[in-house]
Amino acid sequence: MKLVYFSWIREKLGLAEEEVTPPEHVGTVGELLDWLGSRSEAFEAVLEHDKVIRVAVDRVHVHDRATPIDGAQEIALFPPMTGG
């Protein structure tokens, strides 16, 4: 699965995107975020703000951390957008 990072998330991780194969027990958005947070100090720091991080699964915004990710091709993590 491809993970794509935007804005300050990209900056803190030093990554724009990456291909990952999560462990078998990771089947929801929430479990993915928990797993990512355990991968490195940079991910842990980003996910301190997990309540404000927005998630898109295959380019569809999801609001429920229980959303399944089985079969997902792309998951994007991005901060809330503001307008002006």
Give the domain CATH number at 6.
3.10.20.30
Residue 82, pLDDT score: 58
Distance CA 69, CA 56 (A): 10
Residue 50, pLDDT score: 80
**Total domains in the fold of the chain:** 1
Query: CB–CB of 77/53 below 8 Å?
Result: yes
Q: Is the overall model pTM greater than 0.75, yes or no?
A: yes
Average pLDDT over residues 20-27: 97
Which range marks the domain in which residue 15 is found?
Answer: 2-78
